[in-house]
Structure 1
Amino acid sequence: MNELRHGSPVVEKTAHLLGAIAEAKHGVSLSDLVEQLGVARSTVYRILNSLAAHGLVARINGGATYKLGPRFIELARRISPGADRATMAEAAHPIMQSAADRIRESFKLSAPEGDEMLTILATQSPAEYAISVRVGSRSPKHVGASGKLALAHSSDEAIAEYCAKGLPARTAHTITDPDVLMDELRRIRDDGYAEDNLESSQGLRAIAAPVFDAAGALVAAVSVPFIGDATPDRKRTIRKEVTEVADSLTQLLGGTMQKSK
């Protein structure tokens, strides 16, 4: 590890350490950092402790593996919305992948953009046959679980403006009546989650939960799409995992979690 000639050795070591953590997609251990950086174990340990105290790094699930911490999301938000989303997606990836592996379903993270929802991250189920989600795909907000969540947490004026533009159908089950949609949005606010019941694509269902920032605004939605009907127990399992992932991201953003029902 080369250090800047007229720089601070500690800052140089910290910068290289943060870079190594950022490049590790699934986190990195203390031992791995020591080996990569060629720095004394005690030095790396002290730097990690200081960074963790400031929220710049965090242990994954409280274990011995480190990732970038929630403070980076806060700092990224001050740069640009694009950087904010990229950082949120990076923070969400290990959480979503762990949940996908646990219940063998694909997970999706979507963010509101105008009248649409934009898919910014997808994690694949380990099952042999699983739904593949395309990052960058878009859908109208009244179509699907994530979009309805975004509308449900919008102002009445914003909802009325959206409905005034028309509610085109994707399938025979898409909600196209503004009054019916308003009833659905009220239910979603009460329940804390949303469902897609064959509304976006024939045969496809989904359950979604909201992600809130420190200002209480919905900034994303976590969802699990699945084909066909699911048993009540299976739906409860999916809803629990989706809600827990969304709550974890809300915590990273310094937001307030909703009570699950």
Structure 2
Amino acid sequence: MIEPKHGSPVVEKTAHLLEAVADARTGISLGALVDQLGVPRSTVYRILNSLTAHGLVARVNGGASYELGPKFVQLARRISPGADRVTLIEAARPILAAAADRIYESFRLAAPEGNEMMTIFAASSPGDYALFIKVGGRSRKHVGAAGKLALAYSDYNEIEVYCAGGLEARTPYTITDPETLKEALAEIRRSGSAEDNQESNLGLRAFAAPIFDSASRLVATVSVPFIGEATPERARSIKREVLDAATMVMKAINGIHPMSK
């Protein structure tokens, strides 16, 4: 566990504990936290008690495992009233879960974070070949369908600054030439959707569609990554589900597409 030179050890331990709780998909026990963090059991126990008292963590169904508590929802709502990600996730959850069950592919909800896209929700699928999507995962905008969408709906200066920072390759198919990227972004804006054809990971494709808020700002994207050998008919079906899901989520948050103004 790395601690900053002038930081507080207790705060650092608490931050790492919260990250571990957040990463656990079905809750995490006291013993597992002790093993993962390398912190004395008594210290972890005291931190958990304090966090529980403040509602920042909670016992899963009153049992021995811990998950993030309701206080986080309240705090998240204060970050930006105009881009309430908690409300967005709550609106998207049933829509993406139903779509994932319907087509046996996992759905990703991602939001722009500076030069990256961050996964803020994932609806897993029971399909044998559906991919696991990690919530909290990040990727540079130019290497995937979701990120290219965010860039496509950025203003000219933002795109120029992004390109000036360098376009590193993730695979041989990643777009690394600024002019080629700008042409691709123009086409994405015309079509209203984006595709990743092995640009972020070899053998994988993805389709993505945008979600705009009530001020027509792109606040998130819906995408489905899938194994690239899908038949043309299967690929069209996935793309249709992505577009429909994004439309439904946007309607649920009273979003307005900029082209509809």
TM-score (norm 1): 0.67
Q: Which residue pairs with 1:121 in the alignment?
A: 121
Kept in 2: contact 1:251–1:257 (CA 8 A): no
The amino acid across from 1:176 in the alignment is T
For the residue of structure 2 that corresponds to 1:148, the secondary structure is helix
Matched-pair identity in % = 56
Kept in 2: contact 1:247–1:257 (CA 8 A): no
Q: Which residue pairs with 2:207 in the alignment?
A: 207
Aligned length: 186
Give, in angstroms, the shift of residue 204 of structure 1. 1.1
Give, in angstroms, the shift of residue 149 of structure 1. 0.2
Q: Which residue pairs with 1:242 in the alignment?
A: 242
Give, in angstroms, the shift of residue 161 of structure 1. 0.5
| 1:10-29 per-position Cα deviation (integer Å, ceiling 9, x unaligned) | xxxxxxxxxxxxxxxxxxxx
For the residue of structure 2 that corresponds to 1:221, the secondary structure is strand
Using a 3 Å threshold, how does the CA distance of structure 1 residues 78 and 85 change in structure 2: closer, same or farther?
Answer: closer
Distance 1:218 1:229 in 2: 30
Distance 1:76 1:195 in 2: 34
For the residue of structure 2 that corresponds to 1:174, the secondary structure is coil
**Matches of residues 20-169 of structure 1 in structure 2 within 5 Å?**
79-81=78-80, 84-169=84-169
Distance 2:76 2:123 in 1: 23
Distance 1:128 1:258 in 2: 38
Runs of 4+ in 1 over 3 A off after TM superposition: 75-78
Q: Which residue pairs with 2:57 in the alignment?
A: none
Kept in 1: contact 2:91–2:253 (CA 8 A): no
Using a 3 Å threshold, how does the CA distance of structure 1 residues 258 and 241 change in structure 2: closer, same or farther?
Answer: farther
Distance 2:130 2:164 in 1: 37
Kept in 2: contact 1:211–1:222 (CA 8 A): yes
Distance 2:230 2:214 in 1: 34
| 1:205-245 per-position Cα deviation (integer Å, ceiling 9, x unaligned) | 10000000011110000000001232221121111110111
Give, in angstroms, the shift of residue 128 of structure 1. 2.6
Kept in 2: contact 1:211–1:218 (CA 8 A): yes
- Output the aligned Cα RMSD: 2.2
For the residue of structure 2 that corresponds to 1:142, the secondary structure is helix
Give, in angstroms, the shift of residue 258 of structure 1. 7.5
Q: Which residue pairs with 1:232 in the alignment?
A: 232
Give, in angstroms, the shift of residue 158 of structure 1. 0.4
Gaps of 5+ in 2: 1-73
Gaps of 5+ in 1: 1-74
**Matches of residues 153-192 of structure 1 in structure 2 within 5 Å?**
153-192=153-192
Give, in angstroms, the shift of residue 254 of structure 1. 1.5
For the residue of structure 1 that corresponds to 2:160, the secondary structure is helix
| 1:29-88 per-position Cα deviation (integer Å, ceiling 9, x unaligned) | xxxxxxxxxxxxxxxxxxxxxxxxxxxxxxxxxxxxxxxxxxxxxx99973239811221
Q: Which residue pairs with 2:20 in the alignment?
A: none
For the residue of structure 1 that corresponds to 2:169, the secondary structure is coil
Give, in angstroms, the shift of residue 248 of structure 1. 1.0
Using a 3 Å threshold, how does the CA distance of structure 1 residues 258 and 224 change in structure 2: closer, same or farther?
Answer: farther
TM-score (norm 2): 0.67
Distance 2:236 2:258 in 1: 17
